[in-house]
Amino acid sequence: MNKVNSSKRFLIIFISGFIAFIIIYPLFYHSLVKKDNLISHSYKDFLLRHTQGSRLIIDSGSNSLYGINSRILEKELGVLTINIADNGSIPLQEKLYRLDKFSHKGDVVLLPIEWLHYFSSKNSSHFFLENLFDELNFYYNEMSFLVKLQLISETPFSSVLKKSIVILNNKTYKARDEYMRFINYKNEFNNKARGDYQHTGEKPILTHWVKDFTCNEGILGNNLVLSSMFKKNVTLINKLQKKGVHVLFTWPVVVGDNCYQGEDSIKLKKFVVQIKNYLKQNNIIMIGEPEDSLFKKQAMFDSYYHVNSVARDIRTNRLLVKLKNLEIITYKHKNTNLNINEIIIKNYFINSFKPVKLVQTINIHNTNAIFLASGWYLVEPWGIWSQGNESILYVKLATNLLQQNLKLVIENNLYGTQDKTTVLINDKKLGDYLLEGKKSLIIPKKFLENNDGLVKIQFNYFNVKSPLEYGLNRDERKIKFGLKSLQFRRVKSNE
């Protein structure tokens, strides 16, 4: 009897432990995945999420990263063009899930995907699973619950342990880091960076892939048959098209001697026909022929899918002609320099701001209370100088302060001539003031309504000059307004 009870007890403990593991392990895995509190750590992901209006979105592996010049396409087509291509071993399914979430009606999605996405039946690569925790966390964070469980089950336990040690030691969230990330992104966007690889003239080192395999061995599989996985992905593409997103395919850029030649050429031609026919059956356009994006080895950067900058521009211009002939992109996107400040503020920073209380002094070093959106130079120990003719900042007020008139106390220095500054609150002109030392401005409550407590303060300046222009020193900065602190107070009855 004791043996039977012991066996039952062991069985109960074993089953309970197994169930506990099934529940706890996914939660543990999930806790290790990096969470971007405000802004994605990937500039490409940032572009996909936060650019607005109709866009040309390029997505694939690194062949498009090295092989497309988005600036040429944007300039010639008149449409904001973003290149979110990253690594060819990332499953096409995960790319399509992300595109489904962040693309919108009027977007054109171009997929110059690598050959393996057509024939491979493998869902997740080792590279993808290894980097889901941090570098590729945005893919994981957008997955459905069931897809996450599938990937968790596919990830080697050794990878989870290895990542847990690294990530748990470096998991502190720093608001200042995300603020600086935003500033960098804004500068990149204004400098027309759209996600392409930036060729710097460095001498590349050929990858072992090129040394160990021929071109056909490196990019083509042994069994060139359209996989069930690709057909499943086409159903996701159909879903995209139903919501008004135009999806186009084109062939990947390939570089090397004897590519598409020899015994594989006949198989490849049949495979190309098979791909075209299947896409046509699903009302999906394939642009051009594989040879349109094929280059000799002298155009290689460092691998069979990476071309140099000269070949990149040739390939881009070939593609441009075919895109123009399709006449799908017929609009002119007039706002390619969109205001990313507004997007980030309204969608993200508002959630991290600590509401400002009455009589609380807000200094410019407190990144959880004030956001210096634009028109400012670097923060200095005493405060910060304005940059140019306009400066914008944001603060968030506690909700109980929104139904009353408030007094805004500004402490600042004025550089150069004593000119008045135009102050706007939430895009409404408050007035023109001579701001020097400490100045109190009365804000009527109507200026604060219907804005979720977020207060946009804009300063417009006159006669802005640099110390160099005044003949004082070599400082070329265009400065006028030196902000030290802000403070909100109640308005007294006699004011």
Q: Can you tell me the distance from the alpha carbon of 143 to that of 132, in angstroms, rounded to the nearest whole number?
A: 11
Using alpha carbons, list the distances in angstroms from residue 37 to 168, 258, 350. Answer: 16, 48, 12
Q: Name beta bridge partners: 359.
A: none
Please tell me the chain's helix, strand, coil percentages from 3-state DSSP, rounded to the nearest 5.
40, 20, 40
pLDDT of residue 276: 95
Q: How much is the pLDDT for 336?
A: 46
pLDDT value for 495: 63
Q: Which CATH number fits domain 33-326: 1.10.3720.10, 3.40.718.10, 3.40.50.1110, 1.20.1260.10?
A: 3.40.50.1110
Closest CA to 127 of 68, 40, 62: 62
Predicted local distance difference test score (pLDDT) of residue 421: 94
The CATH classification number of 353-490 equals 2.60.120.260
Q: Where are the domains of the chain?
A: 33-326, 353-490
Whether residue 479 contacts residue 415, with contact meaning beta carbons closer than 8 Å, is answered with: yes
Q: Which residue, among 22, 35, 154, 54, has the nearest Cα to 94 in the 3D structure?
A: 154
Separation between Cα atoms, residue 337 and residue 192, nearest integer Å? 9
| Nearest alpha carbon to residue 218 among 103, 100, 278, 300 | 300
* Residue-by-residue DSSP string for 241-254: HHTT-EEEEEPPPE
φ/ψ of 51, rounded to 5, equals -80, 145
- Whose CA is closest to 139, among 195, 81, 91? 91
User: Shortest CA distance to 421 belongs to which of 482, 475, 379?
Assistant: 482
Query: How far, in Å, CA of 68 to CA of 85, rounded?
Result: 10
Place of tokens 């956001």: 371
Tokens 């009455």 correspond to what residue?
358
pLDDT at 208: 77
CA distance 89 to 62: 9
pLDDT tens-digit profile, the chain (495 residues)? 555 566 677 677 777 777 766 777 777 777 777 766 556 778 888 888 888 778 999 999 999 999 999 999 998 888 889 999 998 888 999 999 999 989 988 899 999 999 999 998 877 777 777 777 777 777 887 777 888 888 788 888 777 777 777 665 665 445 455 656 666 777 777 777 888 888 776 777 777 778 788 888 888 878 889 999 999 999 999 999 999 999 999 999 999 988 898 888 888 999 999 999 999 999 999 999 999 999 999 999 989 999 999 999 999 999 999 998 887 776 544 444 445 555 555 555 556 667 777 767 777 766 567 878 788 888 888 889 999 999 998 888 887 777 788 899 999 989 999 999 999 998 899 999 999 889 999 999 888 876 667 888 999 999 999 999 988 888 889 999 999 988 888 887 666
Structure tokens at 470: 């005044």
Residue 40: strand, helix, or coil: coil
User: The dihedral of CA 378, 379, 381, 383: what is its sign?
Assistant: positive
The tokens for 317 are: 């211009």
Best CA proximity match to 387, nearest among 375, 371, 397, 378: 375
Three-class SS of 167-229: HHCCCCCCHHHHHHHHHHHHHHHHCCCCCCCCCCCCCCCCCHHHHHCCHHHHHCCCCCCCCHH
| pLDDT of 47 | 85
The crossing angle, in degrees rounded to 10, of helices 309-326 and 70-77 is: 30
User: Given the DSSP bridges, would you call strands 390-396 and 370-374 parallel, antiparallel or unpaired?
Assistant: antiparallel
Distance CA 429, CA 405 (A): 16
* Cα angle for residues 200, 252, 225 (degrees, 5° grid): 150
Distances (CA, A) of 431 to 246, 390, 421, 425, 427: 47, 15, 8, 10, 12
Separation of alpha carbons 459 and 430, rounded Å? 10
* Cα gap 351→95, rounded to integer Å: 27
